[in-house]
């Protein structure tokens, strides 16, 4: 790693940039517009978010506050738990532990830093971690391994079997940094009684681990508060998903990113409820006017992104969608399987339901939510089994009336690379044009963003997707 890269801590850099970005709208519009001319490296990213109005500003403020909490946790006597986006954070909020999610922290780096996160990615390999692992963890993990970020106190993950490269990242971090570690396991099936029992018992063992690490017992009132907030959030998310079914989709494509980042980082907190309400207000207004959420308010095509999105610098993926009037109808990351979700009709056994009736029922609810987190829910078993990836994609592509399905992953996605061709073939058999992209969502060195857009444009043109593309 270069000397310059070691000059500042990675998490501090992200916080200082996002904190300043979040303040840019505190002044007048004229001040904001004058500022854009002075920050050529941040201008495009900032404007892509701020142009979304109140939801964009709220998201930036939430992110700035979140990063600050990581930086100040130890001074405030709080523990930090390193974890993954597959892990629902409410249980950590109930313990007043600060969740530190590697993938969103990597994503922030790829969005913001001109140089990307290559040096942190490579540093993991320099100290012995495999280069075929997922870039979504490695992009920020390198900073933690190099001592260039606030050291976490414990590590919890829940991805063995679902994504072993994900699970290995946390196991490696634990061994390398000497940090206590707990991993939840998920059986290959979801809805049978044996799996449910396994999930809840495993979840209770994890609670015992967190109690041991923090020295605190799980507080019933605080847990109830968090779950009440999730109940509100689940209703708001369900309404957003309902509205996405309209043609044109009134939801701006980038709201999918706001939605899943929010669940990963802030689920169960009041700030996230404010963000969801603000998003919903805008989506409802668009729906009443009958306009699309795209920049031009028109919709030429509807895409379901069947796995993850692409996190290249300046949010260029979302800019490209907008420039081409393509509505993003969601991806595996934006499907949470709460009770009442539009995609769960006739699949109620695959959903979770939040209950605050008793301590036991609250813990069971969170265990059920955890076992339905993105990836954990639908990549745990054979791709074409009930409730798994193909079943879920067909269901959502039909529900949202998608014109096409597209796959982005990382070089580490062995579980999906092993089945993606059969999966695409099956979708095509059902009449859904499907594109597999061979890029890495977090590492542009694998395939440039320009090559990705060429592939997507060619696919859309050749398959005759959209009205005027």
Residues that bind ligand SF4 (CB under 6 A): 134, 136, 163, 165-166, 308, 375, 409-410, 412-413, 415-416
Q: At closest approach, how far in Å is the CB of 83 from ligand SF4?
A: 12
Q: At closest approach, how far in Å is the CB of 375 from ligand SF4?
A: 5
Q: Cα separation of 282 and 288, whole Å?
A: 10
What dihedral angle (degrees, nearest 10) is formed by the CA atoms of 26, 30, 36, 39? -70
Looking at the Cβ atoms of 110 and 415, the one nearer to ligand SF4 is 415
Q: Which residues face 435 on adjacent strands? A: 406
Looking at the Cβ atoms of 107 and 262, the one nearer to ligand SF4 is 107
Q: At closest approach, how far in Å is the CB of 170 from ligand SF4?
A: 11
Looking at the Cβ atoms of 251 and 375, the one nearer to ligand SF4 is 375
Q: At closest approach, how far in Å is the CB of 306 from ligand SF4?
A: 12
Looking at the Cβ atoms of 9 and 447, the one nearer to ligand SF4 is 447
Q: At closest approach, how far in Å is the CB of 169 from ligand SF4?
A: 8
Q: Which residues face 183 on adjacent strands? A: 157
Asked if 311 and 107 count as a contact pair (C-beta separation under 8 A), the reply is: yes
Q: At closest approach, how far in Å is the CB of 309 from ligand SF4?
A: 11
Looking at the Cβ atoms of 287 and 413, the one nearer to ligand SF4 is 413
Looking at the Cβ atoms of 39 and 125, the one nearer to ligand SF4 is 125
Q: At closest approach, how far in Å is the CB of 123 from ligand SF4?
A: 18
Q: At closest approach, how far in Å is the CB of 66 from ligand SF4?
A: 21
Mapping DSSP to helix (H, G, I), strand (E, B) and coil, where does residue 251 land? coil
Contacts of 27 by beta carbon, 8 Å cutoff, 6+ apart: none
Looking at the Cβ atoms of 269 and 406, the one nearer to ligand SF4 is 406
Q: At closest approach, how far in Å is the CB of 85 from ligand SF4?
A: 8
Instruction: Please enumerate, as own/partner, the contacts of 74-82 that have beta carbons within 8 Å and a separation of 24 or more.
Output: 74/150, 79/153, 79/154, 79/213, 79/214, 80/150, 80/151, 80/152, 80/153, 80/154, 81/152, 81/153, 81/154, 81/155, 81/156, 81/210, 82/144, 82/152, 82/154, 82/155, 82/156, 82/170, 82/173, 82/179
Q: What angle do CA 359, 362, 366 make, to 5 degrees?
A: 140
Q: At closest approach, how far in Å is the CB of 431 from ligand SF4?
A: 27
Q: Cα separation of 390 and 433, whole Å?
A: 14
Helix%, strand%, coil% for the chain, nearest 5: 55, 5, 40
Upstream peptide bond of 248 is cis (omega within 30 degrees of 0):
yes
Looking at the Cβ atoms of 62 and 257, the one nearer to ligand SF4 is 257
Sign of the four-CA dihedral 49, 54, 57, 62: negative
Mapping DSSP to helix (H, G, I), strand (E, B) and coil, where does residue 161 land? coil
Looking at the Cβ atoms of 292 and 331, the one nearer to ligand SF4 is 331
Looking at the Cβ atoms of 365 and 441, the one nearer to ligand SF4 is 441
Asked if 412 and 431 count as a contact pair (C-beta separation under 8 A), the reply is: no
Q: In which region does residue 456 sit, left (phi positive, over 0), alpha (psi from -120 to 50) or beta (all else)?
A: alpha
Mapping DSSP to helix (H, G, I), strand (E, B) and coil, where does residue 225 land? helix
């Amino acid at each position: 790693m270069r000397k310059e890269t070691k000059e500042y801590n990675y998490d501090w850099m992200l916080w200082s940039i996002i904190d300043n970005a979040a303040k840019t709208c505190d002044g007048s519009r004229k001040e904001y517009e004058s500022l854009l001319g002075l920050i050529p490296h941040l201008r495009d990213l900032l404007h892509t978010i701020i142009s979304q109005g109140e939801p964009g500003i709220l998201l930036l403020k939430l992110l700035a506050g979140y990063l600050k909490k990581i930086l100040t946790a130890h001074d405030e006597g709080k523990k930090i738990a390193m974890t993954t986006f597959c892990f629902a954070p409410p249980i950590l909020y109930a313990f007043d532990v600060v969740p530190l999610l590697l993938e969103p922290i990597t994503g922030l780096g790829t969005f913001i830093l001109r140089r990307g996160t290559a040096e942190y990615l490579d540093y993991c390999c320099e100290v012995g971690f495999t280069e075929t692992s997922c870039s979504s963890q490695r992009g920020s993990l390198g900073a933690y391994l190099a001592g260039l970020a606030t050291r976490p106190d414990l590590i919890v993950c829940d991805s063995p079997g679902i994504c072993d490269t994900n699970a290995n990242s946390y196991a490696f971090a634990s061994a390398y940094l000497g940090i206590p570690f707990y991993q939840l396991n998920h059986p290959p099936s979801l809805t049978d009684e044996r799996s449910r029992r396994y999930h809840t018992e495993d979840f209770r063992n994890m609670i015992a681990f967190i109690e041991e690490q923090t020295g605190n017992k799980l507080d019933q009132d605080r847990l109830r508060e968090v779950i009440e907030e999730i109940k509100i959030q689940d209703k708001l998310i369900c309404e957003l998903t309902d509205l996405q079914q309209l043609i044109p989709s009134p939801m701006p494509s980038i709201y999918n990113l706001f939605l899943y980042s929010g669940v990963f980082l802030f689920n169960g907190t009041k700030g996230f409820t404010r963000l969801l309400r603000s998003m919903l207000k805008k989506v409802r207004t668009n729906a009443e006017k009958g306009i699309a959420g795209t920049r031009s308010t028109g919709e030429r095509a509807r895409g379901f992104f069947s796995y993850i999105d692409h996190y290249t610098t300046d949010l260029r993926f979302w800019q490209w969608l907008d420039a081409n009037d393509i509505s993003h109808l969601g991806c595996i990351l934006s499907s949470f399987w709460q009770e009442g979700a539009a995609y769960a009709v006739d699949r109620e056994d695959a959903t979770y339901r939040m209950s605050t009736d008793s301590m036991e029922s609250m813990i069971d609810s969170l265990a059920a939510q955890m076992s339905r987190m993105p990836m954990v829910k639908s990549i745990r078993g054979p791709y074409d089994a009930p409730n798994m990836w193909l079943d879920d994609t067909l269901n959502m592509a039909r529900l949202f009336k998608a014109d096409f399905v597209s796959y982005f992953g990382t070089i580490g996605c062995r579980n999906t690379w092993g089945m993606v061709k059969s999966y695409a073939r099956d979708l095509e058999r059902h009449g859904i044009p499907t594109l597999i992209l061979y890029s890495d969502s977090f590492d542009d060195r694998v395939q440039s963003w320009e090559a990705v857009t060429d592939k997507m444009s060619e696919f859309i043109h050749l398959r005759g997707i959209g009205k005027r593309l």
